[in-house]
């Protein structure tokens, strides 16, 4: 049997990551199994295992994709600009809302908040206050 080219292998790996990301956003972490990913991607389970030996290996790739998506969304120039970018995206972007809800499977609350504190420029007390306001807005409006 001929070996798959590196280009095809990279495409397949990316397809698995993209499919897992879509599945996470559409159906939640509970449905993120190799079997479900394989069905949705049209790839065999063993094909997924060839690229990701453990679910944690795939989760690390998803974590990077989530971080990249969030970083591109936020304005870190000041606490207020961060807050406004969070609120704007939360209120208008369904994918953003699903990421925020699903991110808990990949990040502890402390890691997420500490990462934001490190990224947002400004007075640490204000940074902390605006992060809490943003998270509070999300919690309250997710429960509606």
Could you report the per-residue pLDDT of 90-99, keeping only the tens digit for each?
Answer: 999 999 998 8
pTM exceeds 0.85:
no
Could you report the per-residue pLDDT of 3-44, keeping only the tens digit for each?
Answer: 668 888 899 999 999 999 999 989 888 889 999 999 999 999
User: Of residues 102 and 57, which shows the higher confidence score?
Assistant: 57
pLDDT number for residue 49? 94
pLDDT number for residue 105? 78
pLDDT over 80 (residue 2): no
Neighbouring residues of 58: CB distance < 8 A, sequence distance ≥ 6: 16, 17, 20, 37, 48, 52
List domains and CATH numbers for the chain.
1-62 (1.10.10.60), 74-144 (no CATH)
| 118, two tokens | 């490190």
Could you report the per-residue pLDDT of 38-74, keeping only the tens digit for each?
Answer: 999 999 999 999 999 999 999 999 999 998 998 999 9
DSSP codes joined into one string, the chain:
-PPPPHHHHHHHHHHHHHHHHHHHHHH-GGG--HHHHHHHHT--HHHHHHH-SSHHHHHHHHHHHHHHHHHHH---SSHHHHHHHHHHHHHH-HHHHHHHHHGGGTS-HHHHHHHHHHHS-S-HHHHHHHHHHHHHHHHHHH--
């Amino acid at each position: 049997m001929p070996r798959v080219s590196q280009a095809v292998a990279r495409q397949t790996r990316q397809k698995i990551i993209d499919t897992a990301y879509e599945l996470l956003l559409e159906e939640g972490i509970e449905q993120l199994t190799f079997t479900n990913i394989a069905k949705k991607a049209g790839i065999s389970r063993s094909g997924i295992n060839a690229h990701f030996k453990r679910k944690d290996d795939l989760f690390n790739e998803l974590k990077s994709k989530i971080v990249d998506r969030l970083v591109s969304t936020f304005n870190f120039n000041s606490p207020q600009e961060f807050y406004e970018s969070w609120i704007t995206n939360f209120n208008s972007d369904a994918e953003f809302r699903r990421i925020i809800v699903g991110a808990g499977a990949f990040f502890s609350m402390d890691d997420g908040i500490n990462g934001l504190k490190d990224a947002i420029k400004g007075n640490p007390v204000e940074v902390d206050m605006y992060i809490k306001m943003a998270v509070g807005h999300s919690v309250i409006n997710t429960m509606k």
